[in-house]
């Protein structure tokens, strides 16, 4: 156990010693490090995607789960970069070279738990950890080095640092698990069976659009932005739905969520795309009420004001036509 802890902690404290030929580095360490990385720093974002998937159905659930891959993107990029830099004779060291990334990710998540915000982007510390690992690969894994045994002092120091990060990982996992349990009900978007949340928003033509208006029609709410490529692709679908069902008790409202120059951007977009349906201007309150996390986000409400269908991302026109027809027949 001491050797196991020492070789991981020594990557941070004594990289020359731990990356020498006399240290037994096992490529299976990568699986352990990946587990520590995910449990110690990614529990909340992973469970957010799981909550999204459980709130949806069919292809929409699969779409909600796909962004889980992005959670591990720093790990994937760091691995490719390290393997590219390290020569073939040192490929057995690649797993250990991801220790700096894991350590920085755990520190970053710990800071978030204490509401400590560092300057720069959220991924700054993970970027530092990834570059740290690549730098170690460039320094110690590009040419043969003489085998050096690790003295007892550095071994103990390295084991202690590994234990500290193990405790931080455990603390992060416990804290994040409690956070997920306490907020599970609001981690996913509103879904079938949930009541329509209270909201009130202004439309592009100066009218008020609110919760009480979602009654008597089949309402299709589409949360979108002018910069969203998938939203742009689906606007013709929404126009077709409006032309097809607009006179039969179906109302489409596009809820714009742009942040800058919202009114002007929405007006220009409406004119360019020749959108025949209403546009609401949300400053963030409606998005939060419906717990929207990605665009486009589509919510279909029946004549009684109940949420019946929710879609995240791309959705086929035939799917929407079938759902709307089903609600009109009720």
More confident of the two residues 140 and 87: 140
Report d(CA 231, CA 16) in Å as an integer.
51
Q: In terms of CATH architecture, what is 200-329?
A: 3-Layer(aba) Sandwich (3.40)
Instruction: Say yes or no to pLDDT of 21 above 60.
Output: no
- The H or E element that residue 265 is part of is helix 262-273
Region 273-279: mean pLDDT is: 93
Whether the model clears a pTM of 0.75, i.e. scores above it, the answer is no
Q: Fill in the DSSP letter of residue 19.
A: T
Handedness of CA 147, 150, 154, 157 (dihedral sign): positive
The pLDDT, as a whole number, for residue 154 is 85
Q: What is the domain partition of the chain in residue ranges?
A: 2-187, 200-329
Cis peptide, bond prior to residue 296, ω within 30 of zero: yes
Taking only the tens place, the pLDDT of each residue in 184-222 is: 776 777 777 778 888 899 999 889 999 988 888 899 999
What pLDDT is attached to residue 19?
77
Structure tokens at 268: 């220009």
Is residue 22 scored above 80 in pLDDT?
Answer: no
DSSP-derived letter for residue 96 is G
For the chain, the straight-line distance linking the first and the last C-alpha, in angstroms and rounded, comes to 66
């Amino acid at each position: 156990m001491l050797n196991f802890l020492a070789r991981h902690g020594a990557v941070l404290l004594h990289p020359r010693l731990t990356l020498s030929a006399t240290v037994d580095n096992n490529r299976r360490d990568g699986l352990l490090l990946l587990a520590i990385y995910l449990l110690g720093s990614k529990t909340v974002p992973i469970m957010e995607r799981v909550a999204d998937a459980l709130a949806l159905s069919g292809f929409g659930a699969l779409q909600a789960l796909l962004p889980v891959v992005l959670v591990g993107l720093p790990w994937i990029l760091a691995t490719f970069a390290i393997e590219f830099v390290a020569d073939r004779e040192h490929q057995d060291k690649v797993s250990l070279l991801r220790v700096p990334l894991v350590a920085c990710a755990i520190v970053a998540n710990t800071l978030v738990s204490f509401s400590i915000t560092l300057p720069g982007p959220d991924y700054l510390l993970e970027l530092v950890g990834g570059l740290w690992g690549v730098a170690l690969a460039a320094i110690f894994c590009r040419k043969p080095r003489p085998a050096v045994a690790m003295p007892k002092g550095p071994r103990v120091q390295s084991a202690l640092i590994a234990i500290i990060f193990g405790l931080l990982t455990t603390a992060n996992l416990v804290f994040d698990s409690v956070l997920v349990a306490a907020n599970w009900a609001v981690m996913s978007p509103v879904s079938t069976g949930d009541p329509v949340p209270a909201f009130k928003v202004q439309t592009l033509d100066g009218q008020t659009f609110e919760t009480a208006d979602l009654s008597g029609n089949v309402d299709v709410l589409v949360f979108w932005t002018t910069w969203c490529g998938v939203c742009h692709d689906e606007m013709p679908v929404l126009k077709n739905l409006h032309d097809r069902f607009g006179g039969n008790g179906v109302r489409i409202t596009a809820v714009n969520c742009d942040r800058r120059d919202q009114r002007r951007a929405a007006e220009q977009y409406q004119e360019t795309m020749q959108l025949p349906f209403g546009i609401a201007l949300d400053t963030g309150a409606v998005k939060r009420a419906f717990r929207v996390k990605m665009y486009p986000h589509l919510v279909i409400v029946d004549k009684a004001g109940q949420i019946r269908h929710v879609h995240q991302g791309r959705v086929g026109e035939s799917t929407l036509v079938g759902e709307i027809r089903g609600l009109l027949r009720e």
